Amino acid sequence: MEIKTDIYLGDSKEQLKKLPSNSVNLIVTSPPYADQRKDTYGGIIPDNYVDWFLPISKQLLRVLNPTGTFILNIKEKVVDGERSTYVMELILEMRKQGWLWTEEFIWHKKNSYPGKWPNRFRDSWERLLQFNKDRKFNMYQEEVMVPMGDWAKTRLKNLSDTDKIRDNSKVGSGFGKNISNWLDRDKAYPTNVLHLATECNNKNHSAAFPEELPEWFIKLFTKEGDTVLDPFMGSGTTLVVASRMKRNSIGIDIVPEYCEMVNKQLKPVELYLLEPKVKYEKIKPERRIAVR
């Protein structure tokens, strides 16, 4: 299976129009927060944030497959001592566009940057808003199960007594099946709170987006060969992870340097992926930079 990676240079609102409808299985992105990262993105002042984002989310709604999911990583900043409301307004407006606001995951940043203010504590969490086009969407829960270790043993110990009694009293009842279910269960489903450390391994890009974040959602909402889109690619973490996980990926960014950087970074990944399978086959990266 050959994995494609497309990178578009330009404004998301425009570049997204080039993508066919219903062609994306997962959108994971962390847009520039309002009035932050001014140096790289020019900064969108909070009052205009919703207006700025809505045309983009409209395009995203079009390109997303009905079984797909949109994960939006965002957190409101403090303005004049108060939390901004643009995230809430954005959710309300996106629902008017037709998006379903399915869930809100919390990303608990374990090692966020220390700091002290007179009237607030360190902000150590961010929102991960899940939007869908349809109430029926693909979700592969087993893929993100975590090992449970001792928990299962304890559980088994507790069960064993009752279990023996039941086994002795009834042979061939349904209980045996249940027990085997317990035995199989060495993994647990996660909750809607994610514990991840912030790792900013890329000094050139200011967004601290740990690889585990897109990885977790890619595992949860896509399978191999699906297509992942990040309309605010930045340093390309989402694309790198997607490629490694054998998903097609599409990235858009308005900064030429990022596009070039991600392009370079992805080449070795693809070579590594292709090598074992198509050893003597000619490698066609199928990658392009469309300069508007």
Partner DNA sequence: GTTCCGCATGAATCGATAG
Partner DNA sequence: ACTATCGATTCATGCGGAA
Q: Which residues bind a copy of itself (CB under 8 A)?
A: 80-83, 85, 88-89, 91-92, 95, 100-104, 106, 108, 110-112, 116, 118-125, 135-137, 139, 141, 146-151, 154, 161-162, 165-167, 169-171, 174, 178, 188-197, 212
CA atoms within 13 A on the CB side of 58: 12
Nearer to DNA, 151 or 272 (CB): 151
* Strand 100-109 relative to strand 5-9, pairing: unpaired
Tell me how far, at minimum, the Cβ of 25 lies from a copy of itself, in Å: 15
Selection from 144, 49, 63 nearest residue 105 by Cα: 144
Tell me how far, at minimum, the Cβ of 227 lies from DNA, in Å: 21
Nearer to a copy of itself, 21 or 124 (CB): 124
Determine the 3-state secondary structure of 29 from DSSP: strand
CB-based contacts of 114-118 (< 8 A; 24+ apart in sequence) = none
The span from the CA of 110 to the CA of 171, in Å, is 50
Q: Which does 194 bind (CB under 5 to 8 A by kind): a copy of itself, DNA, none?
A: a copy of itself
Q: Which does 203 bind (CB under 5 to 8 A by kind): DNA, a copy of itself, none?
A: DNA
* Strand 248-253 relative to strand 5-9, pairing: parallel
Tell whether residue 167 is a contact of DNA (CB under 7 A): no
Nearer to a copy of itself, 39 or 161 (CB): 161
Candidates 8-16, 118-126, 221-229, 252-260: pick the segment binding DNA (CB under 7 A). 118-126
Tell whether residue 153 is a contact of DNA (CB under 7 A): no
First-last CA distance in the chain: 29
Dihedral (Cα; 271, 272, 275, 281), 10-degree rounding: -10
The span from the CA of 108 to the CA of 123, in Å, is 9
Nearer to a copy of itself, 2 or 167 (CB): 167
Site residues (CB under 7 A) for DNA? 30-33, 36-37, 73, 77-78, 81, 110-111, 113-123, 151, 155, 158, 160-163, 188-191, 197-201, 203, 206-209, 232
